[in-house]
Amino acid sequence: MSTLYDRLGGAAGVAAITDDIWTNHTNNPLVALRYINSDPEKIKRLVREQLGAATGGPETYTGRTMLESHRGLNVSEQEFLAVVEDVLDALDKNGIGQKEKDEILAILFSVRKDIIRV
């Protein structure tokens, strides 16, 4: 059986999804300000690593934990859900099926406690 990573299109698919997530986040009025002074290439690299590693790909995530990355940011439930919608929209744009979207949702919600109001 193929991994979720394979079903997302491997490295190329993960890269395309990541680029679309970035575009969605930076155009989303609920979360765009969080990215104003960020390094887009670094963030996209880390998202590619994390998405790759979390879905069975060969990538190794080199960033901080979700808790370390979000501690003190006071991320709201509304912001978290906006990010989830941005990810789902990127998956839709890339023709990803419902089964894969459900698996990605499970991954996102598994780290929710390390992101909201920490």
Q: For 39-95, how does the pLDDT look when each residue is reduced to its tens digit (9 = 90+)?
A: 999 999 999 999 999 999 999 999 999 999 999 999 999 999 999 999 999 999 999
Name the pTM for this structure. 0.94
- What percent of the chain is modeled with pLDDT above 70? 100
CA–CA dist 48, 61 (Å, integer): 9
Give the DSSP H/E element, type plus range, for residue 73.
none
Please state, rounded to an integer, the average pLDDT across all residues of the chain: 97
Rg of the chain taking only CA atoms, in angstroms: 14
- Helices and strands: H and E segment counts in the chain: 6, 0
Question: In the structure encoding, which two tokens stand for residue 21, read together?
Answer: 């997530």
pLDDT at site 1: 74
The superfamily (CATH) of domain 4-114 is: Globins (1.10.490.10)
CA 55 to chain centre: 11
Q: What is the mean pLDDT of residues 114-118?
A: 96
Give the DSSP H/E element, type plus range, for residue 36.
none
Q: Any idea where the domains of the chain sit in the sequence?
A: 4-114
